[in-house]
Amino acid sequence: MKFKIATALVAVTLAGSAVAQEAGDAAAGEDLFGKRCRSCHMIVDDSGATIVKGGRTGPNLYGVIGREAASVKDYRYKKSIEEAGEKGLVWDEASFEAYVQDPTGFLREYLDDKGARSGMTFKLREGAPDVYAYLASLTGEM
């Protein structure tokens, strides 16, 4: 239930910012990725070319939009996100933006399990639509 409310809030926020601009700003998202995500996540394309050199704490985020959760082959995810992937969670605009703002809270709602936990300890307070636009633009998923 709470997830529905969170999704509605994201939608309202998006509608609000759509007055100023159509959708997330990919250039601002690229900047934010460098500041907030790169320490834990790299972006390496399917040919192995590095787009953003980053840390290995989290999985490679190339092509994450449109992909099933927890599906990077050589990355060892925690149990809760694996379960969410098995239940059919796919990263689209709504799920991605809700997740990056509160990974553990999102998984608890999605799995309806108060004991669920995310291995991602970071919460992005602002700019999720921009980061979404940036990551989606890398693979033309917009």
Cα separation values, 133 from 24, 33, 127, Å: 5, 11, 10
Residues 76-115, one symbol each (x = binds ligand HEC by CB under 6 A, - = not), give -xx--x---------x----x--xx---------------
Q: How far is the CB of 35 from ligand HEC (least distance, A)?
A: 9
For 75-93, the DSSP string reads ----HHHHHHHHTT-B--H
Choice from 42, 119, 133, 136 touching ligand HEC (CB under 6 A):
119
Cα separation values, 32 from 36, 73, 114, 140, Å: 6, 26, 30, 19
59 belongs to the binding site for ligand HEC (CB under 6 A): yes
User: Is beta strand 43-44 parallel, antiparallel or unpaired with respect to 50-52?
Assistant: antiparallel
Residue pair 122/36 in contact by the 8 Å Cβ criterion? yes
124 belongs to the binding site for ligand HEC (CB under 6 A): yes
Between CA 141 and CA 140, with CA 71 as vertex, the angle to 5 degrees is 10
Choice from 23, 51, 72, 90 touching ligand HEC (CB under 6 A):
72
Q: How far is the CB of 11 from ligand HEC (least distance, A)?
A: 19
Q: How far is the CB of 21 from ligand HEC (least distance, A)?
A: 19
Tokens of 40: 């834990």
Q: Which residues would be at the binding site for ligand HEC (CB under 6 A)?
A: 36-37, 39-41, 57-59, 61, 64, 69-70, 72, 77-78, 81, 91, 96, 99-100, 118-122, 124, 131
